Amino acid sequence: MLKVKEDLYNGLIIETDSIEDSISEFKNSLTSLQKQAQEDKKSLIWLDLTTKQNQHISMALELGFEFHNCEARRTTLTYSVKNDAYIPVPPTHTIGVGAVVINKKNELLMVRDRIHNEHSIYKLPGGMVEHADKLSNAVEREVWEETGIKAKLIKMVSLLNSHPYRFNKSNIYMVFQLEALTTEINVIDTYEIEEAIWMPLEEFFLHEKMSQFQKTLVYAALENEGLTFLEENKFFPTKQHVEVYG
């Protein structure tokens, strides 16, 4: 028998460790659960399966389940018991972080990708936020990997929401200003980054091939107070981590 627990939307979440290895037993249990959920007037059923359970995935699809979201080695499926069942939307965004790092000489930290074009010679260091990352950890890590500079987050400068992005998702690009704790450049990620430099701010703003968007971001870091880090895990103590900016 499949074990379940209730969610916040009048739904049932199937406990992964109760899923039978036998496909025929899994089919019988899942069919019984669907009938019981209808009798109990539940709204939906959640099912998590791994890529090793490909036959289970196929069977669930045959029984009316649909894909909800997917990762490299697991997928989540849902079954709508009611036609108007509310199903929370799957992940819609990727998140990128950029860094404005200015040293005591009034120089801006810039990087040059190995893959670049004539319209973007240098750019602000940054990258993608990984699974379960803190924003602060992500941007500080990306600066370190791309330039070898140790830096500490000061404030949030800007937020850009755009669509479409990779994999037909939207993207949020968050830019932070960081304080440089070291000055000697030593690119760690040489596979992606060809060069990192300290560029005088005056040269940056006058550079014809520097994008106006990047100039706007750096100007915002210099002129605006931005959002500073307020608190972590005070408001939501059960979370793995929480960052509040304001």
CATH number of the structural domain spanning residue 202: 3.90.79.10
Q: Which residues of the chain carry a pLDDT beneath 50?
A: none
Question: Between the CA of residue 98 and those of 142, 157, 158, 231, what are the distances in Å?
Answer: 8, 10, 9, 21
Distance separating alpha carbons of residues 26 and 75, to the nearest angstrom: 17
Residues 146 and 229 in one domain: yes
Residues 183 and 221 in one domain: yes
Residue at 52 is within a domain: yes
Residues 141 and 227 in one domain: yes
pLDDT value for 35: 98
216-242 pLDDT per residue, tens: 999 999 999 999 988 777 778 888 888
pLDDT value for 104: 94
Residue at 87 is within a domain: no
Residue 163's domain spans which residues? 93-245
CATH of the domain at 71: 3.40.630.30
Residue at 88 is within a domain: no
pLDDT value for 118: 58
Distance separating alpha carbons of residues 139 and 143, to the nearest angstrom: 6
pLDDT value for 116: 66
Residue at 85 is within a domain: no
CA nearest to 210, candidates 141, 126, 140, 111: 111
150-160 pLDDT per residue, tens: 999 999 999 99
pLDDT value for 152: 97
Residue at 156 is within a domain: yes
Residues 187 and 100 in one domain: yes
Split into its structural domains, the chain has a count of: 2
Enclosing H/E stretch for 155: strand 151-162
DSSP 8-class letter at 8:
T
Cβ atoms within 10 Å, residue 98: 21
Residue at 37 is within a domain: yes
pLDDT value for 120: 57
- Output phi, psi for 138, to 5 deg: -65, -50
**Cβ distance 218 to 234 under 8 Å?**
no
